[in-house]
């Protein structure tokens, strides 16, 4: 039994009130049952849309909740390091602030879990009729069977994600997130690699948070391209931890990079137009990711 947990939530341009409310309610129940101490620390990483900051400010009045409003953007890695330093308890549960908790025993499962690092995973929600032409929804649904706890444990260190996980505060302080990762993508993969190298075993359990809201197709394509650029920028550190990087590296070694760049110049625009449109073809998504990755390879 973990006697004290800090739930730490990085947020950026999103509502988090319902998530914090759910965590508070479950924490009170676990506290009454097991005597667990808890706190919830939310850090807004200088959201560009200040309406989110204002609407989330209601949580400041709640017991055991702290709301940090940053006056400049730290980036995805640095804000997590800040949350670890701010936390008052030894055990931390990181949850992305734009997600939801719909399992009634979510907090209890983490309180009773075992291991230095525990990854709860994600579940894909939302109305299929509403999201049937949303690229991210389609992609997440296709990948969902591979993200069960049993499947994740097969490659435990490579399947680490920061979306929803428990870790000791001392482990994060000793192995901080690499703050050169300021943009979207792969900072969690490298963090998992660092933890493994430091001797921390990663345990995967069935305790997911829910993804039930999805960005528009153009925004998701922007994020996908940003992640590809991050992958190439940090390819030495991420070697062996990305199938996309492995394939791209093989094509480069086979002297096919010029052909890949040419293919992107010819096909990139029509592929992106389809994937950003109202009826995206999911079969084109990984093709585009590969060609875009080769196009930015330097």
| Long-range Cβ contacts of 243-246 (<8 Å, 24+ apart) | 244/289, 244/290, 244/293, 245/293
Q: Is the pTM of this model over 0.85?
A: yes
Q: Domain 4-211 belongs to what topology? A: Spore Coat Polysaccharide Biosynthesis Protein SpsA; Chain A (3.90.550)
- 126-137 per-position pLDDT tens digit: 999 999 999 999
Which pLDDT score, from 0 to 100, does residue 82 have?
A: 97
Confidence category of residue 81, pLDDT binned at 50, 70, 90: very high
Domain boundaries, the chain: 4-211, 217-295
pLDDT above 90 (res 185): no
- What value does the mean pLDDT take over residues 193-216? 94
User: Which of the residue ranges 64-73, 101-110, 166-175, 193-202 would you say has the lowest mean pLDDT?
Assistant: 193-202
Q: Which helix (H) or strand (E) holds 140?
A: helix 135-143
User: Which of the residue ranges 21-25, 57-61, 96-100, 152-156 would you say has the lowest mean pLDDT?
Assistant: 152-156
DSSP secondary structure letter of residue 212: -
Provide CB contacts within 8 A for 202, sequence distance 6+.
115, 117, 118, 119, 156, 157, 160, 192, 195, 196
Looking at every residue in the chain, the average pLDDT score rounds to 95
Confidence category of residue 159, pLDDT binned at 50, 70, 90: confident
SS3 state of residue 159: coil
Number of H helices, E strands in the chain: 14, 9
Proportion of the chain above pLDDT 70, given as a percent = 100
């Amino acid at each position: 039994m973990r006697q004290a947990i800090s739930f730490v939530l990085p947020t950026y341009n999103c509502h988090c009130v319902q998530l914090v409310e759910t965590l508070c309610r479950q924490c009170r129940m676990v506290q009454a049952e097991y005597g667990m101490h808890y706190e919830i620390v939310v850090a807004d990483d200088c959201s560009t849309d200040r309406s989110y900051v204002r609407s989330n400010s209601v949580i400041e009045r709640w017991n055991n909740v702290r709301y940090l409003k940053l006056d400049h953007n730290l980036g995805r890695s640095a804000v997590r390091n800040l949350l670890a330093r701010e936390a008052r308890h030894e055990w931390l549960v990181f949850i992305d602030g734009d997600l939801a908790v719909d399992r009634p025993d979510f907090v209890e499962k983490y309180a009773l879990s075992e291991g230095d690092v525990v990854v709860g995973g994600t579940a894909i929600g939302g109305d299929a009729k509403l999201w049937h032409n949303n690229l991210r929804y389609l992609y997440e649904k296709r990948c969902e069977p591979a993200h069960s706890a049993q499947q994740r444990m097969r490659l435990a260190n490579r399947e680490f994600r920061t979306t929803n996980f428990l870790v000791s505060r001392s482990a994060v302080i000793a192995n901080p997130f690499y703050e050169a990762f300021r943009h979207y993508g792969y900072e969690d993969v490298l963090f998992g690699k660092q933890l493994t190298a430091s001797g921390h075993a990663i345990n995967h359990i069935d305790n997911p948070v829910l993804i039930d809201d999805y960005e528009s197709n153009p925004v998701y394509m922007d994020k996908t391209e940003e992640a590809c650029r991050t992958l190439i920028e940090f390819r030495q550190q991420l070697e062996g931890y990305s199938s996309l990087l492995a394939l791209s590296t093989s094509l480069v070694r086979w002297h096919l990079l010029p052909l890949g760049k040419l293919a992107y110049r010819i096909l990139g625009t029509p592929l992106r137009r389809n994937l950003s449109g109202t009826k995206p073809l999911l079969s084109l998504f990984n093709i585009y990711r590969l060609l875009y990755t080769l196009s930015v390879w330097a």
